[in-house]
Amino acid sequence: MATTINLFLDTRSRQDSLGTIKLLVTHQRKQRLYTTGIKISNADWTKLKRNVDGWNLSSKLRDPKFVKLHEELYGEDSLLKKGLLIIEKLGDKFTFDDFKFLLNEDSIQKDILTKNTNKDILVALTKKADFLRKSGSIKNSKLYDCVYASLKRFLSDSSKEFLSSVGLSIKSVNELKYENITPFFLEKYEAWMLTYGKVAQKKGEKPSPASYTTISIYLRIVRAMFNSAIADELISIKIYPFGKKGYQIPSIRGKKRALPKSDVLRLMSYEAEPYSFEERSRDLWIFSYLCNGMNFSDICRLRWIDVDGDKISFIRKKTAKTKKAKLEKIDILLVDQSKAIIDKWGNSTRKGYLFPFLDETMDEEKKISVISQVIHITNDYLKKIAKKLDIDENITTYYARHSFATILLLSGAPMPFIGNSMGHGSVKSTENYFGSFPEELMKKYLSALI
């Protein structure tokens, strides 16, 4: 049974109407409390918890007192973060006594606790995935699990001759040390992924080719594991298999996923059955498009407190855990159409989440599952609508974000404005959305030549 850690307000011995915030550690159904030394009223505790989603503080709560409190409780140097690192360090050998000792040991630094001590990359991937899960990064943890499973499948499918050539044997396919991963190994792995990389979705079906996008993502994770192991002085940089003289990860230019404005307008004017899934799917896509291309994870996580009159202010989930000292909120101006969508599909209580997909009882894994389901349903109905409108595109939720960016660019909006509207940290991130400049814009600029 996994060891868990949470924050808990202990009011049993309150003084001056204040309780003490403590770490609640659960191991094998036994629980222990460890004080943070922070005292708080029950009202402030309730307000803080109501405005914390996972580890992130709602952008609506700007009171400096709560911003500081959130940093003390959830920040990089918090006791909660240290507790998580200690649990990761102890692993299966966890005891409450060892946890208490390390928690009170000032000389135990975070970089020591997180240091990679596994020369086997399969073990390192497993531990990294477990740490990400405990930190609330569920989607990232699943990605590391996928890389682990993929490498295991590759080793199982590999010939005796190939394994021998990289220093492995049939008996050791459950082990993969960093030194075994050579440029030759990575080239063979890429070739295998292009044939068998995608796991069969149905029982009895054979694996199919993985996309270059998947290959690129998986191998970037492998490269990150190498970089971490080198930084921890676990392996020598001499065995680093990547780079100009080694294996080079495929660089994939993203496929253009934007609709022309004419198709966007047709989609917006499409008449669906009132209050059907089809209508909801159309409206959510329109809401995303009109709200700066907001992705569906952020839409589902919006709260009523993020709405202030004609404006929504929020921090993207994707960047919420950045190490920047100050995160920039994205401000979105609501137009009549987006307000109407909120009125129609928003949470009628006007409390908690803006849309009624998530609730306060869900943990992060459940939230991700619900959001995935909303996206899946929306994509299904978008494809049906596109077919009815004779739109020759496999429309998905992500088309709204690309369409927002591309149509703004065609209107003459400068790249920095588009990037700022989408919450990008650099113009380079915005440029990646276009792959190459849209054909319409190229014609417009080239027309100046004659």
* 409 in the same domain as 277: yes
Q: How confident is the model at residue 109 (pLDDT cuts 50, 70, 90)?
A: very low
CATH code for the domain in which residue 431 is found: 1.10.443.10
Q: Which residue has the higher pLDDT, 13 or 243?
A: 243
Q: How confident is the model at residue 117 (pLDDT cuts 50, 70, 90)?
A: low
* 125 in the same domain as 108: no
State yes or no: pLDDT of 120 exceeds 60. Answer: yes
* 420 in the same domain as 293: yes
* 138 in the same domain as 196: yes
- State which of 113, 132, 158 marks the end of a domain: 113
- State which of 113, 129, 149 marks the end of a domain: 113
Q: How confident is the model at residue 16 (pLDDT cuts 50, 70, 90)?
A: low
Choice among 33-42, 45-54, 154-163 with the minimum mean pLDDT = 45-54
Number of domains in the chain: 3
pLDDT in tens, 249-286: 987 655 667 888 899 999 999 999 999 999 999 999 99
Mean pLDDT, all residues of the chain: 84
Model pLDDT, residue 111: 47
* 197 in the same domain as 217: yes
Q: Please check whether residue 369 lies inside any domain of the structure.
A: yes
Q: What is the mean pLDDT of residues 168-183?
A: 85
* 288 in the same domain as 216: no
- Give the Cα-Cα-Cα angle 375, 376, 378 (nearest 5 degrees): 65
Model pLDDT, residue 114: 46
Q: Which residue has the higher pLDDT, 384 or 422?
A: 384
Percent of the chain with pLDDT over 70: 85
* 232 in the same domain as 164: yes
Q: Which residue has the higher pLDDT, 292 or 285?
A: 285
State yes or no: pLDDT of 435 exceeds 70. Answer: no
Q: Please check whether residue 57 lies inside any domain of the structure.
A: yes
Q: How confident is the model at residue 1 (pLDDT cuts 50, 70, 90)?
A: low
Q: What is the mean pLDDT of residues 187-202?
A: 89
- State which of 67, 92, 113 marks the end of a domain: 113
Q: Please check whether residue 211 lies inside any domain of the structure.
A: yes
Model pLDDT, residue 433: 59
* 299 in the same domain as 439: yes
Model pLDDT, residue 49: 86
Provide the domain limits for residue 390.
Answer: 261-449
Model pLDDT, residue 250: 86
* 180 in the same domain as 152: yes
* 312 in the same domain as 408: yes
pLDDT in tens, 138-157: 888 899 999 999 999 999 99
Model pLDDT, residue 257: 78
The structure's pTM equals: 0.61
Q: What is the mean pLDDT of residues 45-49?
A: 88
* 306 in the same domain as 196: no
Q: How confident is the model at residue 298 (pLDDT cuts 50, 70, 90)?
A: very high
Model pLDDT, residue 237: 92
Q: What is the mean pLDDT of residues 348-375?
A: 89
Percent of the chain with pLDDT over 90: 38
Q: Please check whether residue 394 lies inside any domain of the structure.
A: yes
Q: Please check whether residue 101 lies inside any domain of the structure.
A: yes
* 423 in the same domain as 286: yes
Model pLDDT, residue 81: 86
Model pLDDT, residue 128: 87
What is the C-alpha separation between 2 and 274, in angstroms, rounded? 46
State yes or no: pLDDT of 445 exceeds 90. Answer: no
Q: Please check whether residue 247 lies inside any domain of the structure.
A: no
Q: Which residue has the higher pLDDT, 69 or 109?
A: 69
Q: Please check whether residue 312 lies inside any domain of the structure.
A: yes
Q: Which residue has the higher pLDDT, 437 or 16?
A: 16
Q: Please check whether residue 249 lies inside any domain of the structure.
A: no
Q: What is the mean pLDDT of residues 344-371?
A: 89
